[in-house]
Amino acid sequence: MYEMKRVVSIQDISCLGKCSLTVALPIISAMGVETCVVPTAVLSTHTGGFKGFTFHDLTQEIDPISAHWVKEGITFDAIYTGYLGSFEQINLVGKFFDQFGGDGTLVYVDPAMADNGVLYPGFTPEFAKEMGKLCGKADVIVPNLTEASFMLGIDYVGDNYDEAYIKKVLKDLTGLGCRTAVLTGVSFSPDQIGAMAYDSETDTYASYFNEKLPTSFHGTGDVFASACVGALMNGKDLTGALKIAVDYTLACMKETAKDPEARWYGVSFEAAIPMLVHSLGR
């Protein structure tokens, strides 16, 4: 028997596109963890490659939803935030942390807003700085190097870095105020990619790498973040969670690459769910 953990994920619903909530919900649920949601916006698709997507902002819903939950005495084992739909939402989510954080609740922030050196449509450098403040209120953050660079106000160096550079960025990220920073998509050799983390409380680094494929896919950041928080909720330590999340993300990419019918707008995360569940070892 195990006691079911409860996570709340705060990010958008891209109705089609295999990202944010349509990825977090099935992945975390499959890992045996209850997954509640606060949708930050409803979009017809994600913004990475589709033209003419709709966007309905749900900023006004955040306070009433949390007020109801406070009244009901609801608590969460983790709060996992991703893509936020407006500047104002950053402050509202910070307030949500104050209401539902503490008491062992893991505050986990994926500052989903940029990749490959550029911000997603609609985001500004000011938004990124504000997101940096939200990361300061988290226990664990999981940016990629682009997001980290925007939040720290440093130049994005592309693939042009070494281990010492990544270690410095990780330390600087914890300087925002979070205990642990994880950098995703880190690669120190042409055939390996993975994640590296720094725990400021123990002053230790953790990392895990696996095979690097020649292609990249949309939505892998959300897949990684969901599997990683799911693994932490399953009692894995940081290194164990990085391994589960990296291996699962790679498996999703391989499933996508081998299927000629695979959708172009995200990874075939569904096909690798049995492997993910198996990797939890329970």
Question: Helix 87-100 to helix 125-136 angle, to the nearest 10 degrees?
Answer: 10
Task: For residue 36, give the amino acid letter.
Answer: C
Quote the least distance from Cβ 55 to ligand PXL, whole Å.
Answer: 8
Tokens of 180: 């642990």
Nearest residue (CB) to ligand PXL, 209 versus 217: 217
- The CB density around residue 167, as the number of other CB atoms within 10 Å, is 15
What is the spatial distance between Cα 82 and Cα 54, in angstroms, rounded to a whole number?
Answer: 19
Output 77 or 130, the one with its CB closest to ligand PXL.
Answer: 130
Shortest distance (Å) from residue 48 CB to ligand PXL: 4
85 vs 132, which CB is nearer to ligand PXL? 85
Q: Which is nearer to ligand PXL, 47 or 180 (CB)?
A: 47
Distance CA(164)–CA(52), nearest Å, equals 42
Shortest separation between residue 235's beta carbon and ligand PXL, angstroms = 27
Closest distance of CB 38 from ligand PXL, Å: 14
Q: How far is the CB of 246 from ligand PXL (least distance, A)?
A: 17
Cα gap 210→9, rounded to integer Å: 27
Q: Which residue has the tokens 């998509």?
A: 185
User: Is 56 or 68 the residue whose CB approaches ligand PXL more closely?
Assistant: 56
Judged by the rule CB under 6 A, the positions of this chain that interact with ligand PXL are 12, 14, 19-20, 43, 46-48, 83, 112, 120, 219, 221-222
Q: How far is the CB of 122 from ligand PXL (least distance, A)?
A: 9
Are 185 and 74 in contact by the 8 Å Cβ rule? The answer is no
C-alpha torsion sign, points 157, 158, 159, 165: positive
Tally: H helices and E strands in the chain:
9, 11
CB of 174 to ligand PXL, least distance (A): 23
Q: Angle at Cα 167 formed by Cα 162 and Cα 173, nearest 5°?
A: 130
The tokens for 205 are 């680094």
CB 21 within 8 A of CB 8: no
